[in-house]
Amino acid sequence: MKKTQKALSLVLAVVLVLGLAACGGTSASDSAPRTLTDPSGAEISVPEEIGTVAVLAPSLAETVAALGHGEQIVAYDSSSLGLEGLPAEALVLDLSDPDMEQLTALKPDLLLVTNMSLYDQEDPYRGLIDLGVCVACVPTSDSLAGIESDIAFVASLFGEEEKGRELVDSMQAEVDRLAAIGATVTEKKSVYFEISAAPYLYSFGSGVFLDEMLDLIGAENILGAEEGWLSVTEETVVAADPDVILTNVNYIDDPVGEILARPGWEAVTAVKNGAVYSIDNMASSLPDHNVVKAMRQMAQAIYPELYGA
């Protein structure tokens, strides 16, 4: 089993994720700026005082809100609708193709984006940067350590290092608690985690924070020998015969029932035993502090006798 990741210092050692080029840039500010390097590798100038914020990623929106600055968000992406702590009156934008005219009119002090916020333009935010908007890019992290680094970075933008440290420490404490129990597992159960239902099955192998979480709670991902996010065939899952099936699918009425009734899956151990469980979609999809909620649900579903149902 991998060793539990330890909480990171707020002085970040940032890794470029998914091979992305830097998507931020240096900007000017009326107040004395601080120069930082964002997680994409770009040098950015952060205003001394941040008044308004636009966020084009639900994980970053949740982080800003958790740090106590949700009321400063004047625009966020449509995938963030319904998240706690976001102003209902804020402008709602498309995540992958935001309306640049609307963003320009808002001219927020800070724009937070991720690799999912990019679209077919070489430097999509150059106009905003030239206007003095600080654009910080936080590419999607693939590990718990990366998630903690991202939280610390966002906290540093707001000068909230202490709150960021508390958020990371709280997350890490729960990871450590769950991992300590996982370390006692002697007979690991095999697990298939479904994030897209039939006929377009989708899951993940190693190098994804969800796989890391499975490992820490003492389970084995049936796709662990592969890497990254994966399209999966039904034949692959049936042949692997997982002990437990988890799903975070939320776009059909009864994802658990659909799996249990799926033709050709009757002999799969998880289906025979009714060991198919739903995991919170947002907690398991968004790389932020709330992943521990999904980790706890996964642990309780797989080993209820150890973690408590």
Give the pLDDT confidence score for residue 13 in this predicted structure: 33
Residue 76 pLDDT > 50: yes
Q: Alpha-carbon distance 278 to 255, whole Å?
A: 8
- Residue 269 pLDDT > 90, yes or no? yes
* Whether residue 22 sits in one domain with residue 159: yes
Q: Do residues 108 and 230 share a domain?
A: no
- pLDDT category at 97 given cuts 50, 70, 90 is confident
* φ, ψ (nearest 5 deg) of residue 77: -80, 160
Q: What was the pLDDT predicted at 29?
A: 38
Give me the pLDDT at residue 14, please. 30
Cβ of 121: how many Cβ atoms within 10 Å? 10
The DSSP element (H or E) to which 128 belongs, if any, is helix 126-130
Let me know if residue 178 belongs to a domain: no
On whether residue 161 sits in a domain, the answer given is yes
Report yes or no on 226 lying in a domain.
Answer: yes
Q: Is the pLDDT of residue 247 over 90?
A: yes
Strands (E), 149-279: 189-194, 202-204, 219-221, 229-231, 244-247, 276-278
Model confidence at 17: pLDDT above 60: no
| Boundary of a domain, candidates 106, 138, 165 | 165
Confidence tier at 121 by pLDDT (50, 70, 90): low
Q: At what angle do helices 144-157 and 209-216 cross, to 10 degrees?
A: 120
**Is residue 104 assigned to a domain?**
yes
Q: Take residue 33 and report the two structure tokens written for it.
A: 């700026």
Q: Does residue 173 sit within a domain?
A: no
Residues 100 and 231 in one domain: no
**Same domain, residue pair 68 and 192:** no
Asked if residue 172 belongs to a domain, the reply is no
Structure tokens at 296: 């706890």
Do 217 and 88 fall within a single domain? no
The last residue of one of the domains, among 165, 192, 209, is 165
Cα–Cα distance between 133 and 75 in angstroms, integer? 14
The CATH number of the domain holding residue 196 is 3.40.50.1980
153 and 257 part of one domain: no
pLDDT band at 309 (very low <50, low <70, confident <90, very high): low
Same domain, 136 and 198: no
Amino acid letter, residue 307: Y
Q: What are the pLDDT digits (tens) for 130-166?
A: 999 999 999 999 999 999 999 999 999 999 999 999 9
pLDDT in tens, 212-232: 999 999 999 999 999 999 999
Q: What is the mean pLDDT of the chain?
A: 89
Cβ neighbours, 10 Å, residue 128 = 21
**Domain closes at, from 130, 165, 200:** 165
91, pLDDT greater than 90 = yes
Do residues 26 and 160 share a domain? yes
First to last CA, the chain: 23
| 176 found inside a domain | no
Both 302 and 204 in one domain: the answer is: yes
Predicted local confidence at residue 244, as pLDDT: 98
Both 39 and 141 in one domain: the answer is yes
Token reading at 229: 């996010």
Residue 261 has a pLDDT of 97
Residue 209 lies in a domain: yes
Query: What total of structural domains would you count in the chain?
Result: 2
Which residues neighbour 225 within 8 Å (Cβ) at sequence distance 6 or greater? 205, 206
309: tokens are: 């149902």
Query: In terms of residue numbers, what domain contains 49?
Result: 17-165
Whether residue 259 sits in one domain with residue 287: yes
Judge if 27 and 156 occupy the same domain. Answer: yes
Cis peptide leading into residue 87 (ω within 30°): no
121, 175, 116: which is closest to 145 by C-alpha? 175
Averaged over 256-263, what is the pLDDT? 98
Residue 124: pLDDT band with limits 50, 70, 90: confident
Give the CA-trace dihedral at 47, 51, 54, 60, to 10 degrees: 80
Q: How confident is the model at residue 23 (pLDDT cuts 50, 70, 90)?
A: very low
